[in-house]
A and B are shown apart, each in its own frame.
Chain A
Amino acid sequence: GNSVTQMEGPVTLSEEAFLTINCTYTATGYPSLFWYVQYPGEGLQLLLKATKADDKGSNKGFEATYRKETTSFHLEKGSVQVSDSAVYFCALSKGSNYKLTFGKGTLLTVNP
């Protein structure tokens, strides 16, 4: 079946550091790929998405590129801020009901 594996956390960075959170997936065909963010005490918010190979999703300085050859969708940001502290989830969607399959999440803490 479909699955998503993302790097274990927690990740702790200083403000303005470079961020990478690795995500790989297992699925047949061409799923859609997503990054969601969950701030403390809140629900999930879509951060970015890509629906086909080589697409780059971007939002609020975050980027991720859909790599079919490596089945990956790594999240990057050039300069993190304290306000980026949250849990980040990689997810894929495939099938007739487009259900989301999530990774376990990566906790990011950014210190001033």
Chain B
Amino acid sequence: ETGVTQSPTHLIKTRGQQVTLRCSSQSGHNTVSWYQQALGQGPQFIFQYYREEENGRGNFPPRFSGLQFPNYSSELNVNALELDDSALYLCASSLGASGTIYEQYFGPGTRLTVT
């Protein structure tokens, strides 16, 4: 059974650029959640996708957007990058059913640095 994988591992971008981060969910999982972890802080919920539809969003501006594909992999896109977007971006997959989400399994994260 393959766990949650994320790519790339590290990324350096310039302020104003756009970035796409990718996540492959664990086999059999249909739900993906994205979290932003700033240095020295706990992860903060960005949004969740369940069966290709957005299923909740945290307090992040619209320039943070996402997609989930039919194979349940997911992308996080960030436009107009700002210095404060520098963080570790974590993807978590889980098996969801209507009204129930089971344990979330986290990937190793993508470290984004904005200069």
| Chain A residues near B (Cβ < 8 Å) | 4, 36, 41-46, 49, 89, 91, 93, 95-105
| Chain B residues near A (Cβ < 8 Å) | 4, 33, 35, 40-45, 48, 50, 55-56, 58, 90, 92, 94, 99-101, 103-109
16 further interface pairs, Cβ-Cβ under 8 Å (given A43-B107, A101-B45): A4-B42, A43-B108, A46-B104, A49-B103, A89-B42, A97-B56, A99-B45, A99-B48, A99-B58, A100-B33, A100-B35, A100-B45, A104-B40, A104-B41, A105-B40, A105-B41
- Chain B min CB distance to A64 (Å): 16
| Measured CA separation A44–B42 after assembly (Å) | 11
Contact between B101 and A97 (Cβ–Cβ < 8 Å)? yes
- Chain A min CB distance to B104 (Å): 7
| Measured CA separation A102–B58 after assembly (Å) | 13
| Measured CA separation A101–B41 after assembly (Å) | 12
User: Which of B41, B90, B99, B106 gathers the greatest number of chain A CB atoms within 10 Å?
Assistant: B106
Name the prevailing secondary structure of the B interface residues: strand
8 A-B pairs with least C-beta separation:
A102-B42, A97-B56, A98-B101, A43-B106, A44-B106, A99-B45, A43-B108, A97-B55
| Measured CA separation A96–B48 after assembly (Å) | 11
| Measured CA separation A42–B90 after assembly (Å) | 10
